A and B are shown apart, each in its own frame.
Chain A
Amino acid sequence: MIEARGLSKRFGDVLAVDDLSFDVRPGTVTGFLGPNGSGKSTTMRMIMGLDAPVAGSVKVLGRRYHDLPWPLREVGGLLEAKAIHPGRSARAHLLALARSNGIARTRVDEVLELVGLSAVAGKRAGKFSLGMGQRLGIAAALLGDPAVLLFDEPVNGLDPEGIRWVRTLCKSLATEGRTVFVSSHLMAEMALMADHLVVIGKGKLIAETSVADFVARSSKQAVKVRTLSPREFSDAVTNAGGTVIADPDGSVTVTGLSAPQVGDLALSIGVSLHELTPVASLEDAFMELTEQSVEFRAGR
């Protein structure tokens, strides 16, 4: 359980996190979604007591992080990949953390096995790839078998197999009753992993909702259509107030009209459709919600 109340953080003139309040509940994966630079990492650091908020507070398991008796046994965090001394082995890195919190040496090898780093546990971590660094960070988070897990952009640098592994891991940790809070700037990734979402932009809360509701709330419903008469069909859609985008694979994506409307329209102009698929446009929903709050946008 994580409870943020009026959390704010200022860096110079920039209000990086602005009056942020949300709850993260146990038993589900909660996605922390926002464009790059929206304040996700800063919020994560405040949860773990590394950055001090200028206003508001955040509690983990009912306490300030600072007051947790054995932090690593209660909260595990992956804040940045490869935050390890390049000359130190993965095992020594984890062993130092374990010893600080009274965690047995045997647990170090357990988590190394769990994340698939046993073979390189004694190697200097400077030679690790970004993906291996992420796995080591996840191993550190799991070290104390904590009830609350914070993962900041855990799939960065991972190959598809690694991404699937993280997804499965997060879900199974949540199924065990833990609180799992995962940040990402990738909506599609969140849709596959999370049940709930905390969406922020420019440090402000935009939405705190379930993934399903988040998508449903979007006005941008898209429909993927395949037809042998794209020209005729496109004109009809445009006349009806919709927008057509040609896709590289020969199909077209229609926005502004619902799937039944598109089907009826095709029938009325006598054009046959070979495919009519409503597309759950998560990226669109995300973009739409965060449009006003994207800090750096290209071409402006």
Chain B
Amino acid sequence: MTAVLESPATFVVDQPSDRVGLRGAMAAEWTKLWSVRSTMWTLAATAVAVVGLAALSTGTRSASDIVDDPTRLSLIGIFLGQLIFGVLGVLVMSAEYGTGTIRATLAAVPRRPVVLAAKIIVFGAVALVVSEVFTFVAFGVGQAILSARHAVGAQTAIAQHAHALGVKVPPSIKGLVSSSGTASLGQPGVLRAVVGAGLYLVVLGLLALGLATIIRHTAGAISAFVGVVLVLPLIVQALPASISNAVARYLPANIGIVMFSTNHVPDDLGPTFSPWTGFALLVLYTVIVLGVGCWVLVRRDA
């Protein structure tokens, strides 16, 4: 062997550890995540779904409608957003298998649990930031629209009554009516619901990542994810009430609804877990799926 090979190469960056590890793997995952357009597209689509549906659901309410949970109404886009977010979670892993880059990835970092951990941390962190931003924006937009519509509705009603009575409406009444029928972050359960909506999206994204690690194919993993989130609730609903009431509360989608509702959960949901108990259960599911994924990743040939 020549001297050239024995001397350390000049382009090697100083590393704090003595072997390839989580730090490098995370840097690689960060580069991979932002160097494909699908990341921006799915994030943008999730934003449109979450914020757009907040505007739509609140904007189409007639002014006289009674909204039982204005918070949930403004976060209703989570139903659609979770599916798009799930696709991104799936792609983080399945795209590697679909394109064959998994072999380059695992050749660079042969300790496979480190690769999976890097994906979980990088995708999870990005998901947390963007989903919390999306849900807070959705909440803000939704409440602003509700407030505006209620104000219009109430003022119209007041104006009609005033006209019939032949009295003038004092200007101060406008400020009072605009706060009715909307939620603010200071009210009980509202901040928890908005934060919870974002957390729900993050955990579902990681669940999708775990499913993709097990299934390895984009289409298969997305199908499994949609099955868990959308189809399972439909099946449970079709079961006799005695069974569905016992089972429904364990479903990720139903846990999600509780998480982004304030204290009033829809009656047709049946018995539910409390928001944080449900969240803990959802995290448990995700840890199990990711654990199985890790086991499969280590055991199977790449």
Which chain A residues have a beta carbon within 8 Å of chain B's beta carbons?
Answer: 26-27, 45, 48-52, 65-66, 68-73, 75, 77, 79-80, 82-89, 92-93, 95-97, 99-104, 106-107, 110, 140, 144-145, 147, 176-178
Contact = CB atoms under 8 A, between A and B. Distances in A.
Nearest to A100: B28
Contacts of B31: 92, 95-96, 99
B192 to A, nearest CB: 38
A103 B11 contact: yes
A97 B28 contact: yes
Nearest to B98: A85
B11 A99 contact: no
B66 interface: no
B301 A101 contact: no
Contact of A45 (B2, B4, B101, B301): B301
B98 to A, nearest CB: 8
A103 B15 CA distance: 10
Contacts of B110: 49, 65-66, 68, 71
A73 B12 contact: yes
Contacts of B18: 69
Interface of B: 1-2, 4-5, 9, 11-15, 18-20, 24-25, 27-29, 31-32, 35-38, 95, 99-101, 103-111, 301-302
Contact of A85 (B1, B25, B101, B109): B101
B104 A83 contact: yes
B12 A103 contact: yes
Contacts of A104: 11-13
Contacts of B24: 99-102
B109 A176 contact: no
Given A89-B35, A92-B35, A101-B24, A72 B108 contact: yes
| Residue of A70, A102, A106 ringed by the most chain B CB atoms within 10 A | A102
B19 A69 contact: yes
22 contacts: A45-B301, A48-B107, A65-B110, A66-B111, A73-B12, A75-B107, A79-B107, A88-B32, A88-B35, A88-B36, A89-B35, A97-B28, A97-B104, A97-B108, A99-B31, A100-B105, A100-B109, A102-B15, A102-B20, A107-B11, A110-B11, A176-B5
B95 A85 contact: yes
A69 B13 CA distance: 14
Contacts of B13: 102-104
A274 B249 CA distance: 93
Nearest to B16: A102
B179 to A, nearest CB: 47
B108 to A, nearest CB: 4
Contacts of B100: 80, 82-84
Nearest to B302: A50
